[in-house]
Amino acid sequence: SYTYQCFIKWLCKNEEPEKALQFLPVMLKNDVYPDVFHCCTLVDGMAKHLQRSMAFKLCARMIKLGVEPNVVTYTILINIFSNSSKMHEAYDLFKEMIQKGLPPDAISYTSIIHGYCRIGDMKRAHIFFDEMIKKDLTPDAVSYTSIIHGYCRLGDMKWAWSLFQDMKKKGQQPNVVTFTCMIDGFFKLGRKDMASLLFDDMKQKNIIPDRMTYNTMIANYRRLGHADKASDLLKDMKKEGIC
RNA sequence: ACAAUCAGGAGUCU
C-alpha cells in the first residue's frame, strides 16, 4: 500500500497526474483500497499541476469510496483557494472543517494566513496568526515567513522586522527563505544597506544563500544601478557552485 | 541503537 503511494507521488511529480488517476482502478482490482493518504497524495498532485477542478472532483470521489477527508485533505484544498486568492472559499472550508470536528493545525493556519497575505489583507492574516497562538499552536519558521513576506510585499518593514525579531525570541530560527524575503523587502524600499547587512548576517549564521537569494540580490542591485555589485555576486554564485 | 525516509504550508526574476 505504501509502495502504491510512493508510485502515485512519483507519477504526480513527473507531471503525469493523469496516469496516477488511471492507476486507481488497478489498485482496486488488486484489492488495495485507497486510503486517505493515497487520496491526499493524488489531490495534492492534481492541485500542483493546476488541475484544480480535478482535485475537487477527486475529493468527491474519495468520499464515495468511503474515504473520509481529514485535516490534511482540508488543508490541501484550503491551500488551493489561498493560492488563487479565493479567500472566501478558503475560509468556508476552514469553518467547515471545524464544524466537522477537525481542528485546523498549524499548517492549516499557515495556509490561510498565506492566502490573506497574498491579497494584502494583513489585518485578517494577523487575526489568524494571533488566533493560532491562542489555540496553543506554535507558529513555525514557515508561518512566520508567510506573514513576514506579506508585510514585505506591502513595504511595511517595521512589522516585518518586529516579527523577524519575535520569531528568534520564540526559538524559531529564520531560514534561507525568511532572509530572502527580508532582503527583498528592504531592497524594494531602497534600503540596500539593510539588505546587505542581512545578507552578511545570514552567511555568518551559516545559512547558505541559495539561487533565489542570489537572484534577489542581483536583480535588485541591477535595478538600483549597481551593475558592479551584481556581477560580483554572480561570480560568488559560480564560486559557490550555485547556478 | 543512531541516522535517513515516512500524505498537506513560505521566498526572487520573467
Say which nucleotide is closest to residue A184, CA to C1' distance: B12
Closest among A62, A16, A63, A64 to A7, alpha carbons compared: A16
Say which nucleotide is closest to residue A110, CA to C1' distance: B9
Give distance CA A182 / C1' B14 (Å): 21
The Cα-based distances of A21 to A8, A12, A26, A64, A116 in angstroms read 8, 9, 10, 15, 32
Spatial distance between the Cα atoms of A115 and A190, rounded to a whole number of angstroms = 27
CA angle A36, A80, A180 (to 5 degrees): 115
Residues 6+ apart with CB under 8 A from A204: none
Residues A46, A17 contacting (CB under 8 angstroms):
yes
Say which nucleotide is closest to residue A212, CA to C1' distance: B12
**pLDDT tens digit sequence for A196-240:** 999 999 999 999 999 999 999 999 999 999 999 999 999 999 998
Residues A193, A226 contacting (CB under 8 angstroms):
no
Asked if the model's pLDDT at residue A40 lies above 80, the reply is: no
Chain B, protein-covered positions (CB within 7 A):
7-13
User: What is the predicted ipTM?
Assistant: 0.80
Indicate the helix (H) or strand (E) that contains A195.
helix A192-204
What is the average pLDDT across A147-176?
96
Asked if the model's pLDDT at residue A49 lies above 80, the reply is: no
Query: What predicted TM-score, i.e. pTM, was given to this entire model?
Result: 0.92
